Amino acid sequence: MSADGRHLAAALYRIASQADANGVSPRDVYARIASRLRQLTGVDVERIEVDADDTRELLTVRLRERSGKEFPARSLSEGTLRFLALCVMHEDASFGGVICMEEPENGIHPANIAPMVRLVQDLAVDPEDEPGADNPLRQVLVNTHSPAIVTLVGKDDLLMASTEIHEDGGTERPALSLRPMAGSWRAKFPASRPIGKADLLPYLTAPPGAQISLVD
């Protein structure tokens, strides 16, 4: 699957086929993804599967609602389709490395930000467990200006990125600075220059009149 979501159907079909070869029913793979999708407000998915058209050599991800309505995944909203792509990545044990995401809250209903954050966190390797097929070695980097995401993420996983002027051989140059949150494990290093959540307010965006609470 590419960065823009192309080949999603082929990726999911491969994952389900590999599960079948290992004695696991492809239905279990599809059921886990459908269960994730049901966490989203406004999505009433009962079943998901890949329709393989051998004649046309075409793979299509199809969803079935509890009402009985069936439709291709490309009919989903941009945000829901992105969520589906991340669900497929989560099921792919061979997918590792660094995943970079810019503003994952874009295009999704505010009520669905929490499920999105949980999914992104589940994509990353669990540092408390040994990496392996059930715990792929993945690191996830997210860029966001959303106060909703900031309130849902623990201080150990928050860094404030800003451009600062550094002196290099007598020449001043702009450089990226990443500052940890006070009380996090990164803040224990002498040169970390930790910040508090209140320091993030000027960098966060919210609808006019919205009330933001950053109380731990």
CB 197 within 8 Å of CB 214: yes
Distance CA 41, CA 104 (A): 16
Note the pLDDT of residue 61. Answer: 95
The neighbour count for residue 35, using CB atoms within 10 Å, is 12
One digit per residue, the tens of pLDDT, for the chain of length 216 reads 887 788 999 999 999 999 888 888 999 999 999 999 999 998 899 999 999 988 888 999 999 998 999 999 989 988 899 999 999 999 998 888 999 999 988 888 899 999 999 999 999 999 999 998 889 999 999 999 898 999 999 999 999 998 888 887 788 889 888 999 999 999 999 888 999 988 888 878 665 555 555 555
Note the pLDDT of residue 208. Answer: 55
CB 118 within 8 Å of CB 112: no
**Prediction pTM value:** 0.85
Nearest to 78, CA basis, from 38, 47, 106 = 106
Residue range 190-211, pLDDT digits in tens: 888 999 988 888 878 665 555 5
Helix/strand/coil for 16: helix
Helix/strand/coil for 196: coil
CB 127 within 8 Å of CB 167: no
Secondary structure letter of residue 68 according to DSSP: S
Tokens (6 digits) for 8: 């999603």
Query: How big is the chain, counted in residues?
Result: 216
Q: In sequence order, which ranges of 60-156 are alpha helices (DSSP H)?
A: 78-91, 113-123, 147-152
